[in-house]
Amino acid sequence: MLRVGLTGGIAVGKSYVSALLRELGCHVFDADDIARAVVQPGMPALNDIVDAFGPDVLAADGTLDRAKLGRLVFADAEARSRLNAIVHPRVHAEQDRLLREVEARDPQGIAVVDAALLIESGGYRRFDVVVVVWCRPEIQLARLMARNGLSREEAAQRIAAQMPSEEKRRYADFEIDTSEGFEPTRQQVLALHAALRARALTR
């Protein structure tokens, strides 16, 4: 089975690319969904987060208040590092479990993990292929402002909190440039899938 890590900055179109790969028959997992699962009430990661950041990061029902925690860590690189040290090892372990399940069912399949922090976390080393989705900076900023209702300053702060696309691209085996919109992106994804399919069948 071919293990593919798909990554890219906020609001670059990564979700659209992963949705297309799913339509084309890839087994796609969203690292955000996995991250939400590992911080459910009763899970060790949630207890560690409360120990690190205090009970104020919990909602009234005992679940993690992701918006409140997000505001904390977006503004503080040290807090972001503390959170990542708690969550990433649990996320990686769950990803590995899911990938083993897929490999047992579909040994020549393509499994894709969609993860914004694939490179920053070091998780990219666990994949056969790394795909980086990106777009031009001014388009990324405009998309994030429109999508999340943020001011230019707020959107710029969120983008600055992540590794720049230019740096991510250095790790890429394949790149998808979404700057020109849906149809040009779709054509790139079709070509990518053909290349991944060829690799998966020759493993």
Report angle CA 17, 118, 86 to the nearest 5 degrees: 130
pLDDT at 117: 87
**What residues are designated binding site?**
11-16
Q: What's the structural domain count of the chain?
A: 1
Residue 40 lies in a domain: yes
Report residue 133: phi and psi, to 5°: -95, 135
- Whole-number percent of the chain with pLDDT over 70: 100
Residue 203 lies in a domain: no
Task: Supply the CATH number for residue 173's domain.
Answer: 3.40.50.300
Which is it for the CA torsion 193, 141, 168, 124, positive or negative? Answer: negative
Per-residue pLDDT averaged across 174-180, rounded?
A: 98
Query: Can you give the chain as a three-state secondary structure string?
Result: CEEEEEEECCCCCHHHHHHHHHHCCCEEEEHHHHHHHHCCCCCHHHHHHHHHHCHHHECCCCCECHHHHHHHHHCCHHHHHHHHHHHHHHHHHHHHHHHHHHHHHCCCCEEEEECCCCCCCCHHHHCCEEEEEECCHHHHHHHHHHHHCCCHHHHHHHHHCCCCHHHHHCCCCEEEECCCCHHHHHHHHHHHHHHHHHHHHCC
Instruction: Flag whether pLDDT at 181 surpasses 90.
Output: yes
**What residues are designated binding site for ATP?**
11-16
Determine whether 91 is exposed, middle or buried from the number of CB atoms within 10 Å of its CB (0-12, 13-18, 19+).
Answer: buried
- Owner of token pair 């020109």: 180
Residue 83 lies in a domain: yes
Residue 75 banded pLDDT, cuts 50, 70, 90: confident
pLDDT at 100: 96
pLDDT, averaged across the chain: 95
pLDDT at 199: 96
pLDDT at 102: 96
CA 111 to CA 177: how far, in whole Å?
Answer: 21
pTM: 0.86
What residues have CB less than 8 Å from 50, skipping those under 6 apart?
Answer: 57, 58
Residue 138 lies in a domain: yes
pLDDT at 121: 83
Per-residue pLDDT averaged across 51-64, rounded?
A: 95
Residue 189 lies in a domain: yes
Beta-bridged to residue 131, according to DSSP, are: 6, 174
| Domain coverage including residue 67 | 2-198
